[in-house]
Amino acid sequence: MYLKKFETENKLIKRVKTEEEGRRINHYFDRAAIDLKKLDDPNLHFYVGEENGQPASYGRYLLLDKTVCFLSDIFTSKIHRGKGIGKALCRKMLMDAKQEGAVKSVLASSQMGHPLYL
């Protein structure tokens, strides 16, 4: 079963599909979190995590050779950290990648983020 959205309590995780959504997220975070020029790339998928209707986190994955999910650029704003939204975001991306045929996954993280994933 493929879920378009992943909801838990007051959190919502979904794939970003439109330029309008991407612009809203980029404006909220005041950075190019969503690469609008690459929204149509069939192997690159952007996601947003929202809490109470507001963007709280974002991330993306690239499907390599249709079997490897490469998670990257995962970010959660300071006020939303420690609430599980980043974990839910990663879980949703991995579930969707598996539905697309991924059998392996790789996570790229910064030095700061590395301890979170151990």
The pLDDT value recorded for residue 15 is 96
CA distance 110 to 88: 19
- The pLDDT tens digits for 19-53 are 999 999 999 999 999 999 999 999 999 999 999 89
Model pLDDT for residues 63-101, shown as the tens digit of each residue: 999 999 999 999 999 999 988 899 899 999 999 999 999
Give the global pTM. Answer: 0.88
Residues in the chain: 118
- What whole-number distance in Å separates Cα of residue 61 and Cα of residue 85? 16
Q: Are 115 and 67 in contact (CB under 8 A)?
A: no
Provide the 8-state DSSP code for 36: G
More confident position, 58 or 84: 58
Percent of the chain with pLDDT over 90: 75
